[in-house]
Amino acid sequence: MNDVVLAIYSDRLFMAAVAVYVLAMALHAAEYAALRSAYEPAAVPVAVGGEASPGGEPDALPPPDAPAPGRPARSRADRLGGAAVNLVVLAALLQLGSIVTRGLAADRWPLGNMYEFTSAVCLAAVVTWLVVLRRVPAVRTVALFVLLPVVILLFLAGTVLYARAAPVVPALRSYWLVVHVTTMTVSSGLLFVPGMASLLYLLRRSSRGGALVDRLPSAAALDRLAYRTTIVAFPLYTFGVIAGAIWAEAAWGRFWGWDPKETVAFVVWVVYAAYLHARSTAGWRSGRAAWINVAGLVVVLFNLFFINMVVAGLHSYAGL
């Protein structure tokens, strides 16, 4: 199988993954809408034939989807959510296949341009979300808000940011590409989830969203999700910054040169360090800390798009 065929398979797997993500997002939206019944009073059973049961309650036929005796009941929202999660797993596997075949087609590590980097960041965010969901199934209603920006970013990656499979520039032909860029990719994807959780926490805490926000997990659960994911991502991001400095010394003869990419990466590190500090400080650990975490996500996205696509520097390898 030649490189051209592998590149075509990679593109098709990417498009299939996006399509499955969209379908999964639609099912999660249907699940979210079906949760409305949980906030409405239960309907009174209608009598069948006008007869009442011996206990004084009207006899009613069981609903068509009633579970068999001995089996736990599953609501419509639960069935939709379960199907959506299965689709997310399928889409993640398709996206992983797209990244692997992309690397085989280009005969290099598949993180050489913005298209590949954005796809890998989204995959890292989705895998992080699946791990969180495995550990805390009760937060599944957050899935819609995680998948929406992922789908938007993947659409941009497949259109505006798309680049053909090709070798990278000589400056990137180093084993540090595997170490540094992969670490930054995974940590950025990890930080995506707590940023969204903190944003939803602020909405949940303010109670401005009405019934729409009421279907989310509790504010405390969202806050714990944001904090616990950040404390995993932050050391990984720190290692990525250190690895980048070591690579810079080997490539350019200095550990740090205040290049725009380096500068904003350091700003991201400072913001998340401030979040973790605020999270353990009385008077800051709730709303103020969450705002810092949201600001961290904004800076991560700014570093990913604006710095790579607009600002010229030593890290201008977007492939656009």
The single-letter code of the amino acid at 146 is V
Per the CB < 8 A criterion, the answer to whether 300 and 268 are in contact is yes
CA distance 2 to 142: 42
Cα 23 off chain centre by: 16
Residue 133 included in any domain: yes
- Do 87 and 177 lie in a common domain? no
Structure tokens at 86: 């299965």
Per-residue pLDDT, 49: 45
Alpha carbons 296 and 303: distance in angstroms, whole number: 10
Write out the residue range of the structural domain in which residue 180 sits: 169-320
Q: Please state the domain count of the chain.
A: 2
Q: Do both 181 and 158 map to the same domain?
A: no
Residues 18 and 152 in one domain: yes
**Which letter does DSSP use for residue 160 in this model?**
T
pLDDT computed for residue 310 by the predictor: 60
Residue 320 and residue 318: Cα distance in Å, rounded?
5
Q: Are residues 252 and 180 in the same domain?
A: yes
What is the reported pLDDT for 61? 39
Q: Would 66 be classed as within a structural domain?
A: no
Give the whole-angstrom CA distance, residue 83 versus residue 31: 10
Asked if 123 and 98 touch (Cβ cutoff 8 Å), the reply is no
Cα 229 from Cα 232, distance rounded (Å) = 5
pLDDT score at 48 = 44
151 shares its domain with 198:
no
What's the pLDDT score for residue 167?
73
Identify whether residues 215 and 125 lie together within a single domain: no
Count of beta carbons in the 10 Å neighbourhood of residue 10 = 24
In a shared domain, residues 22 and 154: yes
Whether residue 30 is found in the same domain as residue 146: yes
What predicted TM-score, i.e. pTM, was given to this entire model? 0.82
Per the domain annotation, does 64 fall within a domain? no
155 is a domain residue = yes
pLDDT of residue 57: 42
Residues 12 and 129 reside in one and the same domain:
yes
Residue 52 within a domain: no
Is residue 185 located within the same domain as residue 138? no
Q: Are residues 14 and 116 in the same domain?
A: yes
Rounded to 5 degrees, φ, ψ at 47 are -70, 145
Question: Of 138, 168, 198, which residue is a domain's last?
Answer: 168
Same domain as 146, residue 179: no
Q: What is the pLDDT along the chain (320 residues), one digit of tens a residue?
A: 667 889 899 999 999 999 999 999 999 999 988 876 444 444 444 444 444 444 444 444 344 444 545 556 678 888 999 999 999 999 999 999 999 999 999 888 888 888 999 999 999 999 999 999 999 998 998 999 999 999 999 999 999 888 888 776 666 677 777 888 899 999 999 999 999 999 999 988 876 666 667 788 888 999 999 999 999 999 999 999 999 888 888 777 777 777 888 888 999 999 999 999 998 887 777 788 999 999 999 999 888 877 766 655 555 554 44
Give the count of beta carbons closer than 10 Å to the beta carbon of residue 146: 24
Q: Using CB atoms within 10 Å of the CB of residue 313, give its burial: 0 to 12 exposed, 13 to 18 middle, 19+ buried.
A: middle
SS3 label, residue 52: strand
Q: What is the C-alpha separation between 36 and 111, in angstroms, rounded?
A: 42
| Per-residue pLDDT, 254 | 77
